[in-house]
Structure 1
Amino acid sequence: MDPLLTRLRAAGFDAVSADLAPGGVVAMAGMATLRDGSRVFAKTLQGAGADLFEIEAEGLRVLREAGATTPDVLAVTPDLLVLEPLCPRPDDNERFWEDLGRMVASMHAVTGERFGWHRDGWLGRLRQDNTWDEDGHAFLAQRRILRWLPEPLVEAAFDAEERRSLERLCAALPDLLPPRRPVLTHGDLWRENILTDRAGGPALIDPAVSYSWAEADLSMLWCSPRPPASDRFFAAYNEAAPLPDGWRQRMRVFHLRELLSDIAHDDGGWGAAQEVREIIAPFARRQ
């Protein structure tokens, strides 16, 4: 944790110690104790893009303006982000997950005219292409799925026919997904980016915001390991913002972006490539 403490002190925080935070897979992050006994949450990243933390701080602000709870940003520099501390989420509390479902539905009520964002962002250590597009199917295909194919680890994970199968799936997206308006999305809404504020309610961290498909956010939770109580998230969300029929069956298609990102970040050893193969199997050419 020495690099984190050094950068905190350089930013004016009299940090005396820091404890590594669990759950993160990209940045060095931890809860730091200051000399006066107060605590802050801080994160740093060796070789970070010069605008990575600036974009993350902007995302937190935009989500808060849309009604989501996010931590206060205490400081942001090219190599450091300092936030107010939050608490672990209560995985077995159904009320918590219901509140989160309504929060995310409220956030998704903020709509846009186009898919994308006014600047590119980051997903983990790699750039997120947010180029504006009025066609949601083309945006999902080009900016969120096929975007990962040139990454070296993704290229190595799939043969030529598997890549063509993925391209055929993307060409079929208009038949697979009903058109929806672009909405403000968190962009990385998996369980580790959900915490608890001081009042015990849900709070969101680590966004990769853009105007995108609402179901892209939902797929991050639906397709990842999660506690049983989180079923109440989907029930509460659907009460506040009813989803078109068949949404459960569409979740794996939206989850392709996350699976490919995991592989590109060298975190696909748990079976991400095999999941991709299962999803694209119907689009393989029969011999």
Structure 2
Amino acid sequence: MSNEEILADRLRAAGYAVKEIEQAVGGAVAIAGLVTLEDGTELFAKTLTGPDRDIFLVESTGLSELRGVGGANTPDILCASPRLLVLEKMQPPRADDVEFWEELAQMVAALHMSTVSDRFGWHRDGWLGRLRQDNSWEEDGHTFFGERRILRWLSEPLVEAVLDRDDRRALERLCAALPELVPTQPPCLTHGDLWQQNIVATGGGAPVLIDPAVSYGWPEADLSMLWCAPRAPASERFFAVYREITSLPDGWEERMPVLHLREHLSAIAHGDDNWGAVDVVRSVIAPFRRSGG
């Protein structure tokens, strides 16, 4: 059975009269597609193969919280179950002009500034890709980021296979030094996987956030996902507008590679080292190496 047939069967079991499905590309976790129903309605849907997991339930809760608590634009959730997620269809392709990135900066800044909290974490664990995201509550941001967002990956088999003892010890030293590297900042609600593939648009061109890995964390961790990943030239305007609204602490650009370590380690753990994640990790942790281990 093809991926489209699997998705169609599960949509029909949920009561949707499916006419056709155009498989979506770009996702590594789910079977996804743009769905046209018999009455002409267009939707976005995705399903999982293998054992039931709560990925879609966590994703839908995260989308609802980004919208309801943080005021961000997210798709309407039409169906969420362990095996099926159905959302309103967004409008491809997204514009990548200055106006779009300015509007996105205003939305993300409002999300971060309006959701300041006193604890890091979330009320439930989540997912980053196919692997669990530990969102256990923690009052100290440096401990939270070090343990839950960096060191957490060291026990993953694919990470163990490519990082040697010196690499792991350097990462541990970096985490111990986080209070000197990252200024104390209150947590806020973060998207958690804010790279440009997870930013789409409405038919009217307004930015919309999808595929979150929500938690209360450092706002700069969200920024690192955009700063360090390939992006459109016009996205420079995002950072200029965000800085104007939020008054980012000095030195934020230098902190981006450290905060982005979590994403590189996740890529290694998923077997998705397409951009040389191991080399990047070793470059970032180089100052924390010591001769003799």
Q: Are 1:275 and 2:280 counterparts?
A: yes
Q: How does 1:145-160 map to 2 (within 5 A)?
A: 145-160=150-165
Aligned to 1:31: 34
- Determine if contact 2:159/2:269 at 8 Å carries over to the other structure: yes
Residue 42 of structure 1: SS of its match in structure 2?
strand
Distance 2:180 2:28 in 1: 35
Distance 1:91 1:175 in 2: 39
- Report deviation, 1:62: 0.6
- Report deviation, 1:91: 4.5
Once the two structures are superposed, what CA deviation does each residue of 1:208-266 show, in whole Å capped at 9, x if it has no partner?
Answer: 11000000000000000001001111111111111000000000000000000011111
- Determine if contact 1:48/1:78 at 8 Å carries over to the other structure: no
- TM-score, length of structure 2 as denominator length: 0.96
Distance 1:148 1:239 in 2: 34
Q: Are 1:95 and 2:99 counterparts?
A: yes
One-letter amino acid of the counterpart of residue 96, structure 1? F
Distance 1:128 1:165 in 2: 22
- Determine if contact 1:24/1:192 at 8 Å carries over to the other structure: no
Aligned to 1:83: 87
For 1:132, which of 128, 137, 142 is the aligned residue? 137
- Report deviation, 1:47: 2.6
Once the two structures are superposed, what CA deviation does each residue of 1:73-99 show, in whole Å capped at 9, x if it has no partner?
Answer: 000111010000001354531100000
Q: How does 1:61-76 map to 2 (within 5 A)?
A: 61-65=64-68, 66-76=70-80
- Structure 1 residues 117 and 49: CA distance shift in structure 2, 3 A: farther
Distance 1:160 1:150 in 2: 12
Distance 1:89 1:191 in 2: 12
Distance 1:29 1:118 in 2: 27
- After TM superposition, where is structure 1 displaced by more than 6 Å over at least 4 residues in a row? none
For 1:18, which of 13, 18, 21 is the aligned residue? 21
For 2:230, which of 215, 225, 244 is the aligned residue? 225
- TM-score, length of structure 1 as denominator length: 0.98
Distance 1:138 1:262 in 2: 22
Aligned length: 287
Distance 1:5 1:232 in 2: 41
Aligned to 2:119: 114
Once the two structures are superposed, what CA deviation does each residue of 1:112-139 show, in whole Å capped at 9, x if it has no partner?
Answer: 1100001101111111000000000000
List gaps (5 residues or longer) in structure 1: none
Q: Are 1:187 and 2:211 counterparts?
A: no
RMSD: 1.1
